[in-house]
Amino acid sequence: MINEDIKKYIRDVKDFPKKGIVFKDISPILMNPEIMKYITNELSKYVGDADIIVGPDARGFLFGIPLSMKTNKPFVMVRKPGKLPGEVISYDYELEYGMNKMEMLKDSIKPGQKVVVVDDLLATGGTAEAIVKLVESAGGIVTKSLFIIELEFLNGKKILNTDIVSLVKY
């Protein structure tokens, strides 16, 4: 298998979540354990000497947790406000269709720890940039950002100051 074969398991859904958007649905990937294993193995090649894997709710969890297990690295959740117990740090950011906020448990990343961010999709880069800023505010160092899909025409990687790996590009 090659990375381009992953595209066979990505479904386009037109006008979701709003008119004019073509949503890249990863449900067919999740329904195929062999593709999930392949993706996890591919992503694991880029973790290197990172201390921690970080992923956003919800689709970042789907790929970040298997990657965490494969590489024997802790997984840190980044979630929407009010979803994590205890003291959190937060970051406000802009999406292509509105504003959002992300939170992470305050003590989940120690200063100087190397972090790999994992999410399903890189579009405009707003979510990924917010995660990087959140990690940096905790003193972590983002060494790589890993994505299953990159929408190159939206130029999301231009705003990220990390190495970026995308398995498939549109």
Provide the CATH number for the domain around residue 132: 3.40.50.2020
Which region among 18-22, 33-37, 70-74, 109-113 has the lowest average model confidence (pLDDT)?
Answer: 18-22
Q: Residue 119: inside a domain, yes or no? A: yes
Asked if residues 102 and 131 have their Cβ atoms less than 8 Å apart, the reply is yes
What CA–CA distance (Å, rounded) separates 101 from 83? 12
Q: Which domain holds residue 97?
A: 48-169
Per-residue confidence band for 94, with pLDDT thresholds at 50, 70 and 90: confident
Is residue 79 part of the annotated active site? The answer reads no
Q: Residue 14: inside a domain, yes or no? A: no
Identify the active-site residue in 4, 59, 103, 136. 59
Asked if residues 149 and 122 have their Cβ atoms less than 8 Å apart, the reply is yes
Asked if residue 38 has pLDDT above 80, the reply is yes
Q: Residue 58: inside a domain, yes or no? A: yes
Q: How many domains does the chain have?
A: 1
The pLDDT, as a whole number, for residue 144 is: 97
Identify the active-site residue in 96, 129, 150, 152. 96
Pair of tokens at residue 74: 């802790």
Q: Residue 4: inside a domain, yes or no? A: no
Q: Residue 109: inside a domain, yes or no? A: yes
Query: Residues with Cβ < 8 Å from 121, sequence gap 6 or more?
Result: 24, 59, 147, 148, 149, 150, 151
The 3-state DSSP class for residue 29 equals helix
Q: Residue 1: inside a domain, yes or no? A: no
Q: Residue 92: inside a domain, yes or no? A: yes
Asked if residues 160 and 135 have their Cβ atoms less than 8 Å apart, the reply is no
Question: Would you mind telling me the total number of residues written for the chain in this entry?
Answer: 170
Average pLDDT over residues 11-27: 95
Q: Residue 86: inside a domain, yes or no? A: yes
The pLDDT, as a whole number, for residue 96 is: 62
Is residue 96 part of the annotated active site? The answer reads yes
Asked if residues 36 and 69 have their Cβ atoms less than 8 Å apart, the reply is no
